[in-house]
Structure 1
Amino acid sequence: MDGVLYKHAEVERDIVKRLGKATEQLGLGPEGHQDLFRSHGSTIQGLLSEGHLSGDAVEPFYSGVYDGVNLEALKPDPLLALQLKSLRADDVCVWLATNSPRPFVDRVLQALGLESHLLRIVCPSSENGWVNKPDARFFEMLPRTQAKFFDDSLGHVRAAVAAGLPAVHVRRSDDVMMLVADALMVVPACWRLSKSHYLQAKEVADLRSLSAPVRSELAQQLSTFAGQDISVLDLGAGTLSMLSVILKALPKGSRVKYTAVDRDDELLKQAAAERLESQFQATAHASLPNTWQLPDREVSVTLLPGDAVEVLATLPSQTLVVGCSILDLIDVEALSTALRQHQASALLYFPIHYAGVTVFESPRQADVKLLTADYNRSLECRGQVTKVTDFYDSLGETIATGSSDWVLDSKACPDLFKQLASFMAVNALGFHGHAAVGEAVAALRSPGGLLAEDVVLKVENMDYLGRVPGSATAAPRRLAVEFSAPGEVCLVEEALRAPGEEEVVVKARYSAISAGTERRMLMQGPGTEPLDTTHAFGETAWPFRYGYCLVGSVVQSNCGDLLPGTRVFCFHPHASHAVAPRSAVKKIPDDISDEDAVFLANMETACALSQDAAPLVGESVAVFGAGTVGALTAAVLAHQGYSVTVIDPETDRVATLLQRFPQISCSAGKDFDVCVEVSGSADALGSAIKSCRRGGTVVLGSLYGESPVSLPLGLAFHRSEVSLKASQVSQIPAALSTRWTKERRFDLAWSLIRALRPKEWIGMHLVPITAAPDVYRDLMKQGQVPGPDGPPRQWVFSCQPDA
């Protein structure tokens, strides 16, 4: 099921992550689930075989792992539903053999829009002893005669073969219905091409079919930019087939920046090796990653993995936006909206898009017409557009259009001809019996088995040249939160300035509210000194702006190592967009989500507090305050193996923390070796001093400002020889500065975020940035913003105004 019936890596990653967490809770360590998978071929099979799971504990374990898996990424697949229904009516039985439990199977089928009665389901259950693949007993429950088994696990395939069941290893690029068609001998498997070979064959047909009048008009439009800088964005660039076409159309003497976007990162890398380096003799740029320079002209090519629509918002306005064969594969309305919002006045060149007609022309047309009779219906089932000409008005002002039909015969384009026929045959399985489809495919061949010479495949395509409406000169705007006077917050809409040298523009997604600090700032003002010596939060008078936990993506960059689209953490006040120096921006590691990354500044503070606390092995630590910083500090110290107690009057906050970290205690006492105060309460600081052992250390993590604080510093304090240690995060403490740097501590913070995953237990509550005045009004009244599920709760702005 997972990886065969559907292919959504995020769902599969969620399963593995939850399985790892559940296995770790059984005491097997963070890598226990991987060790069991390697040794048994299935984590749960390993848990059962080694006795970690048994009896009544198995079903709750399955529920704990699978019930919370997020299936939002799965969408209904109407064509697959029709194919399964047609196969069932044609006496072909499809079995679903999965290691997932039945409730999860039902959820997946419902998400995909598939009726469970169309499949015979075999999965672990109490009735079969929770047996999993690759256990041989699992395969005994499956048919052997006239059967074929598909699985994306090579270990499961080998086990099936050993059990006497013919099996096929499914790759990520395989369509399972294509494999079914192979098994039923509907279409020869040798007719299918790999993705790269298909694109190469398609490129030959595309370049031969491009509308000459539209290409001529494109060159005419671009001639007005002679001698200027020209930026070209190629959406769905694939193997860079359009690069040579665009280079021929560009005026001489222009400096060109060509950005190629595709979801398939590996395909782009292959294109760089095979086309840029070999065909164009391009050389990799010394300081810009994924960028190549052409030797005979001022052209730089940048490869940018990503989504075609999403990337439009991350790049500056382009001279030309290109997309070959992309319009019939994309949400055209979403593309149109993104173009109008972010690429006003750009030229548009969209060649080779499907115009709604595919037909085999042959004297034997009656035999082969079945393959295309319902072709458009099958495309519509998959969400593809079959007549893009209907969307021209939404794209922009039409400058020129022209026919770019494919006329494919068995002599000139045999490989592409067979690939398309194979694709059509598989789609036709949703509407016709497999025997009838097989006969139609057979009609494409001569008696000798070769492709018949009298069959021609005609696909009507169109080329489009247009311009996005609007003006590209309007200054971009942003929304910022401003503390205008004591207790008063307002939203400021303003022009977004262009980045300077070594600066970037970041489109914010999240900006976390530091409740305690921001409440004090809003009540007392910024003070007379900058709050942070590193990132120059230097406003010292009203009005001023605050915030330092912003996460987003780079949309414009004057920094060579930060390309547009890069996810970053930014030390910047709350705003929809940030213009920040390189020193205030941190790349987010690929394996850390935006939701976890928003805790970087707080995690660095927790690291600084833990380093200042510096408990010895065997010593006890008390953390006073279970807000975000206190909870993270307690978690870091507990993760390092120290005995930790958390003290906070908000019992719900403590309970939430203890649920995640049962090794932490909440019992108050007076014999702690180290006390860390992060509550912002003078009373808590006094309790910390009184609770510390003789000779112990109290670390002050709260910022009290200029207000006087009353502390118990009488005879008992003097006799205790307790040290008060001020802690701050903007610099490395002098005692550690010979070994530690800020970068080393940030690396530590990322690793602890990766290990502790704070978003999973510090409840994030999102509010739109437009609600900032209301949020701070509650903050002033109550001391903290109330959350529906109880603290600890981290409130976070969704930073786009329309979020």
Structure 2
Amino acid sequence: MINGQRVIFLDRMQVDLEAYDFDDAAPTATEILMRTEFSAISSGTELALLSNNQDIGHWQGEPYPAHPGYAAVGRVIACGAQVEGLSEGDRVFAPCGHAQYHRVDTGKTPVVKVPDGVAAEDAVYVRFCAVSMTTLRTTRARPGDGVAVFGLGIIGAMAAQVFQASGYEVVGVDLEEHRRQRALACGLRLASSPDGLVDLWREALGDVPCRLVVDTSGAVEAMRSATELADTGAEIVLVGVPWKSSQAMSASELLQAIFSKYLHVRSGWEWEIPTLPAQFAQGSVLQNMQHAMQLMARGQLAVAPLRSHLVPPSEAAAVYKGLLEDKETYHSAVFDWTGV
């Protein structure tokens, strides 16, 4: 055993950094042991877990204590005999939490080697790219079609860049000016508020139809704008979790829009495809993460404008508080474990 540290949610709205014992026994054939360098907060998921005040969604009554996080980059410190393509000392991404050490089974979990030229604190954002990349694989929309991405938080800003890099005509949509500006700073060509969306679309894209709406916001309000913008027969894919109920749009209003425009509304659940490559499967989560890493290596995805805070895990409580209460200043935060 070796001593490590990890972030813990002790109870609702209670964040701490705790010591723990990490089992550093030799890895099994398909396992690696990893020492974390950086881990990124997934704001939507982790703040829902911490605040636990949603009236719908899949974290009602979440038990505490809980260990958050699912995006980490670190160095391989031991490698099983059957692990392919990785060696001790390699820098890798793995969907692991905010902890100093991890044991990862590569036979079950996607692990991606970080190429030279991609900074570790950037590579960790591969996890957020993958959330929307299942939709990229399963959509009927094709390159050259118009895509609207609603919500320009971390997931949405990365989704907009991924679709743009894949040849789609993309418009990012968000109520908040500061989010739109960050997405534009990443290289997104077009961003709009919901109010000006139709006019901007026509001015910038002309008669290019919106064949796909990717909603990462989980907000009912976004559905009204989405159904207005979407072309006849288009897809609306729900990537964001609707954490809270809303009366902003009635079910009958939504159903009428779906029926009259022949819209296809579906879940964008990223895990509908296999985790690892499989015969006859339409891609895998691992392949999505690998492709996102290559896009970063080629300079087609930008991360730095999104990251507002790079801090040691000892500042976890303050960072989560900021993400909850000061969303204009705290946009995306990454823990730096290199000094722990």
TM value normalised by structure 1: 0.36
Does residue 292 of structure 2 align to residue 763 of structure 1?
no
Name the structure 1 match of 2:46. 518
SS at match of 2:235: strand
Name the structure 2 match of 1:576. 100
- In structure 1, C-alpha distance between the alignment counterparts of 2:55 and 2:120, rounded to whole Å: 32
Shift of 1:481: 0.8
Name the structure 2 match of 1:655. 181
Does residue 227 of structure 2 align to residue 689 of structure 1?
yes
Identical aligned pairs, as a percentage? 24
Alignment partner of 2:65 out of 515, 540, 543: 543
Name the structure 2 match of 1:505. 33
Question: Does the 8 Å CA contact 1:638/1:664 hold for their aligned counterparts?
Answer: no
Name the structure 1 match of 2:14. 488
Name the structure 1 match of 2:150. 624
Larger Rg computed on CA atoms: 1
SS at match of 1:744: helix
Cα distance, 1:559–1:540 mapped onto 2, change above 3 Å: farther
Per-residue CA deviations over 1:432-453 (Å, capped at 9, x if unaligned) read xxxxxxxxxxxxxxxxxxxxxx
Runs of 5+ consecutive residues of structure 2 not aligned to the other structure? 200-208
Cα distance, 1:529–1:757 mapped onto 2, change above 3 Å: closer
Question: Does the 8 Å CA contact 1:658/1:664 hold for their aligned counterparts?
Answer: yes
Shift of 1:654: 1.3
Within 5 Å, give how 1:124-523 maps onto structure 2: 475-499=1-25, 500-501=27-28, 502-523=30-51
Alignment partner of 1:701 out of 227, 232, 239: 239
Runs of 5+ consecutive residues of structure 1 not aligned to the other structure? 1-474, 532-538, 788-792
Per-residue CA deviations over 1:38-60 (Å, capped at 9, x if unaligned) read xxxxxxxxxxxxxxxxxxxxxxx
- In structure 2, C-alpha distance between the alignment counterparts of 1:636 and 1:627, rounded to whole Å: 14
Question: Does the 8 Å CA contact 1:764/1:795 hold for their aligned counterparts?
Answer: yes
SS at match of 2:271: coil
Cα distance, 1:672–1:703 mapped onto 2, change above 3 Å: same
- In structure 1, C-alpha distance between the alignment counterparts of 2:54 and 2:102, rounded to whole Å: 20
Per-residue CA deviations over 1:85-136 (Å, capped at 9, x if unaligned) read xxxxxxxxxxxxxxxxxxxxxxxxxxxxxxxxxxxxxxxxxxxxxxxxxxxx
Question: Does the 8 Å CA contact 1:612/1:727 hold for their aligned counterparts?
Answer: no
Question: Does the 8 Å CA contact 2:215/2:222 hold for their aligned counterparts?
Answer: yes
Question: Does the 8 Å CA contact 1:546/1:573 hold for their aligned counterparts?
Answer: yes
- In structure 2, C-alpha distance between the alignment counterparts of 1:771 and 1:785, rounded to whole Å: 19
Shift of 1:757: 4.0
Alignment partner of 1:740 out of 252, 274, 283: 283
SS at match of 2:161: helix
Amino acid at match of 1:749: A
Name the structure 2 match of 1:772. 316
Shift of 1:547: 0.8
Amino acid at match of 1:498: D
Shift of 1:509: 0.8
Question: Does the 8 Å CA contact 2:307/2:334 hold for their aligned counterparts?
Answer: no
TM value normalised by structure 2: 0.80
Question: Does the 8 Å CA contact 2:76/2:92 hold for their aligned counterparts?
Answer: yes
Amino acid at match of 1:635: Q
Amino acid at match of 1:797: F
Name the structure 2 match of 1:749. 292
Name the structure 2 match of 1:615. 141
Amino acid at match of 2:296: I
Amino acid at match of 1:575: A
Amino acid at match of 2:39: S
Shift of 1:618: 4.3
Determine which structure has greater relative contact order: mean sequence separation of CA pairs < 8 Å that are 6+ residues apart, divided by chain length: 2
Amino acid at match of 2:63: A
Per-residue CA deviations over 1:243-301 (Å, capped at 9, x if unaligned) read xxxxxxxxxxxxxxxxxxxxxxxxxxxxxxxxxxxxxxxxxxxxxxxxxxxxxxxxxxx
Amino acid at match of 1:675: V
Shift of 1:515: 0.9
**Number of residue equivalences:** 312
Within 5 Å, give how 1:635-646 maps onto structure 2: 635-646=161-172
Structure with the higher helix share, 1 or 2: 1
